[in-house]
Structure 1
């Protein structure tokens, strides 16, 4: 990740007010900045760390070690798949801050002490850097996959 860093734009570091809105803005900024400059500025990385803390550190560790797979349906729907540290498949909708992992369940949904999990952040980091494999699937397969992932027994 060191080669992806520059020091350019100033980013406000106040993550206390409206944290989820700032987190969303930082994720959007992450994608735009890498698209524009092919790197992440030190200011952006500092803001991401300030907002996400240890979750961001864990996401950075996962970025190069766990591949991102982008499932793309013929209708254009997208679903990301990342591997957890125990090699369980984790599915993430790109524009929805949600993950079925235990950390998300307990620290984000129940305890409200984190904004997201490492899977969500690492997926966005890899997607922004175009570090993913694309798997084209049919609309029917996408529906079945989404149904299995999000409407299965044991759902949060």
Structure 2
């Protein structure tokens, strides 16, 4: 039996460390950043840029349903589902699903990191708005 943890378990553990470190000091240690970079490569730098640019929004409906909306570097807003690695972006389809070069795209990584760090923006919307977002996902 393989005793190696899977990537999802490693990422979840790292996100917990990110949360604790960022809440206590307002920054991430070089060790945590190095670990994240080993797992995500260039996507980490791109995700951190999206976070610094305030491009990650948690869109919350009045009933409590929510999704992430992450505006990509091209200005296109992508929907990322909570507790998932799904994203509408082309990188998800090609690098994550088809080629399996990446664990997740930069948009999903930015959403998970910003939540762990407590830095994502929040936008309250109607249930209809969330339903419309979900109905128009590719």
What TM-score range do you get, normalising by the shorter chain? 0.7 to 0.9
The runs of 5 or more residues in structure 1 that have no matched partner are 1-15, 150-154
Deviation at residue 105 of structure 1 after TM alignment = 0.8
1:145 matches 2:98: no
2:44 to 33, 56, 64: 56
Change (3 A) 1:42 1:78: same
1:107 to 79, 90, 95: 95
Q: 1:38 maps to what in 2? A: 26
Say which structure, 1 or 2, has more relative contact order (CA 8 Å, 6+ apart).
2
C-alpha distance in structure 2 between counterparts of 1:134 and 1:62, whole Å: 15
Q: Secondary structure at the match of 2:78?
A: strand
- Measured against aligned partners, the alpha-carbon deviations of 1:85-132 in whole angstroms (never above 9, x if no partner) come to 110111112311111111111111011111011111122233333333
Q: 1:72 maps to what in 2? A: 60
Count of residue pairs the alignment pairs up? 135
TM-score of the aligned structures, taking structure 2 as reference length: 0.82
TM-score of the aligned structures, taking structure 1 as reference length: 0.74
